[in-house]
Chain A
C-alpha cells in the first residue's frame, strides 16, 4: 500500500464514470425484476381495463402514447425513492468522497431510471400490440428516444429532490404531483375535447406536448408540428431538470 499513485483517477471523466455507475445500476435492476414489473402495473391496468372503452376513438393509437407518459411520470418521476436508501446506508457519501465528477454521479443514477422506464415501456407496447396496436418500427424507435429524453430529466430531478426533501415529504408530494401532471397531459383522452380553460392549462405543461408528439410518432407521422414542438419541449424540459438537479447535487455539502 506504500506507493502513492498520483495518476490514480486519471481515467475519471463524466462519460466513463457515468457508464461505470449506470452499469452498476443496471446490474442492480436486473436483480429486481418484480419491482420492475410492478412499476408498470398501473398503466397496464389502464390499458386492459380502460382501453377497451375507447375503441371508438382509435383506442390504442390514442391511449398508448398517453400511458407511456403516465408510466414515465410514475417510473422515472419517482426514481428518487431508491437513492434515499443509498443515502441512509452511507453509500451516497462514499460515492461523493470519490473523485467521480458530480455530473456523472447524477447521470449514472438518472440513466438507470431511464433504462427501467424503457424496459417497462417495451412491456406496455408489447401488451398493446397483442391487443391491436400496430406501431411502425421507426415510430417506435423515435418514441423510445423521446421518452428516454423526458425520462432522464424526470429521473434526475426526482433523485435530486429525494435528497433534499424530507423523507416523509418526498413520497406523498411526488405521488400527488404526478396525478395532475398525468391528467393535464391528456394521457387518457385527447385534450381537444376539453373546455378552453383546461386546454390552455394543459398546453402550459410539458407532458401534453410529449404525449401529442408520441401519438404522431406511433401513427407513423414523423414530420408534423406536434412532433417538432413535442421534441423541443421535451429536450428543453430535460436539460432544465438535469441542470437544476446538478445544482442541487453540488450544494449537498452546504
Chain B
C-alpha cells in the first residue's frame, strides 16, 4: 500500500537547516495498522506530511495506494485520509457545514454528501453535536469530528498523526476501538504515529521505530522485543537497545551537516 524509498526532508537552508527525516525506506502491506513510534521531535509528523503530499521531499519519494507522490499527487490525495496532529475542526461555525464541504471536495454531489455525512455522524455517535462549532466541544468530542472529517470519503489508506495525544483514557480507548474497526471490518490500511509505548504495543501490528529522522527498527512489537538479546520486557527497553537513548527523551533538532 505504501512504498517509501529514501524519503528525506530538510527544513530551511544552511546554516539553520534541520534534517527532520533522513532516508526512510519501508513498505506497508494493505490492511495493517502501522505505527511510527518515536519521541517528540523524531520526525513522525514530517513523515506523515510527506506521505500526504503536504510537504515535498528534499530527496527520495514514495508511492501511496499505487500513486507516486511526486508524479501524481492528486491521485494520492484521492485515495488517502489524513487526520493532523491537533486536528482540523474549525471554530465559529457548525461542524455539519464543514463535513458537507469536505464530502463535496471529494467529489460527492450534494445529496450524496448529505447522506454520507449523516452516516458518518451516526458512526461516530456525534449527530447531536453537529450543529455546534469546534470551540464548544470537549477534546474527545472534537477528536471524533477530526476523525470523521478524515474518513468521510472512505479512503483505503489513512494517516493519523498522534490520534490520542491529549485525550483522557476513555476517549483514548474509543479511538483504539475505532482504528481496529477500520482495519478489521473495512480493510483500511492505517498509518498512525505515537510517542506512547503502551499504544504502540496494544494497537499496532507493526512498528517503524523512528530515531532522529532515521528508521531504527521495523517489526511487530513482539518481534522487536525478541530481537533484543535475552528478550526485552517492554518497548522502552527495545527503544533503548535500538537507539542507545530512552524513548521519553525529547529529540533535539538534527542539524544538517554542511
Using a CB–CB distance below 8 Å, which chain A residues touch chain B? 1-5, 7-12, 17, 20-21, 24, 27-28, 31, 85-86, 89-91, 93-100, 253-254
Residue ID in chain B nearest A91 by CB atoms: B90
Given the interface contacts A9-B107, A97-B77, does A89 sit within 8 Å of B88 by beta carbon? yes
- Nearest 5 interchain pairs by C-beta: A90-B88, A1-B186, A9-B107, A94-B88, A11-B107
Q: When the two chains form their complex, are residues B187 and A2 in contact, meaning their CB atoms are under 8 A apart?
A: yes
How many residues of chain B have a CB within 8 Å of chain A? 42
What residues of B have a CB within 8 angstroms of the CB of A97 in the complex?
A: 52-54, 77, 80, 82
Question: Which of the residues B53, B106, B188 comes within 8 Å of A9, measured between beta carbons?
Answer: B106
How far is A7 from B102 in the complex, measured between Cα atoms in Å?
A: 16
Q: List 28 A-B contacts (CB under 8 A).
A: A1-B154, A1-B188, A2-B187, A4-B79, A4-B156, A5-B154, A8-B106, A8-B107, A9-B78, A9-B106, A10-B107, A12-B106, A20-B101, A20-B104, A24-B101, A31-B93, A86-B90, A89-B134, A90-B84, A90-B87, A91-B89, A95-B105, A96-B53, A97-B54, A97-B80, A97-B82, A99-B105, A253-B53
Q: When the two chains form their complex, are residues A100 and B55 in contact, meaning their CB atoms are under 8 A apart?
A: no
Q: Separation in Å of the B155 CB from the closest CB of chain A?
A: 8
Q: Using a CB-CB cutoff of 8 Å, which residues 204-255 of chain B contact chain A?
A: none
- Which secondary structure characterizes the binding site on chain B? loop
Q: Using a CB-CB cutoff of 8 Å, which residues 160-191 of chain B contact chain A?
A: 182, 185-188
How far is A148 from B186 in the complex, measured between Cα atoms in Å?
A: 47
Q: Which of B74, B87, B108, B188 has the most C-beta atoms of chain A within 10 angstroms of its own C-beta?
A: B74
Q: When the two chains form their complex, are residues A99 and B91 in contact, meaning their CB atoms are under 8 A apart?
A: no
B149 at interface (Cβ–Cβ under 8 A)? Answer: yes
Q: Separation in Å of the A10 CB from the closest CB of chain B?
A: 6
Q: Separation in Å of the A26 CB from the closest CB of chain B?
A: 11
Residue ID in chain B nearest A98 by CB atoms: B105
Given the interface contacts A3-B154, A4-B79, A10-B107, does A93 sit within 8 Å of B101 by beta carbon? no
How far is A24 from B182 in the complex, measured between Cα atoms in Å?
A: 30
B97 at interface (Cβ–Cβ under 8 A)? Answer: yes
How far is A9 from B72 in the complex, measured between Cα atoms in Å?
A: 14
B153 at interface (Cβ–Cβ under 8 A)? Answer: yes
Q: Separation in Å of the A44 CB from the closest CB of chain B?
A: 25
Q: When the two chains form their complex, are residues A89 and B78 in contact, meaning their CB atoms are under 8 A apart?
A: no
With contacts A89-B87, A90-B87, A94-B102 known, what are 20 further pairs, Cβ within 8 A? A1-B186, A2-B186, A4-B79, A7-B107, A10-B107, A11-B109, A12-B107, A20-B101, A21-B101, A24-B97, A31-B93, A89-B90, A91-B89, A91-B98, A94-B84, A97-B54, A97-B80, A98-B77, A99-B106, A253-B55
Residue ID in chain A nearest B81 by CB atoms: A97
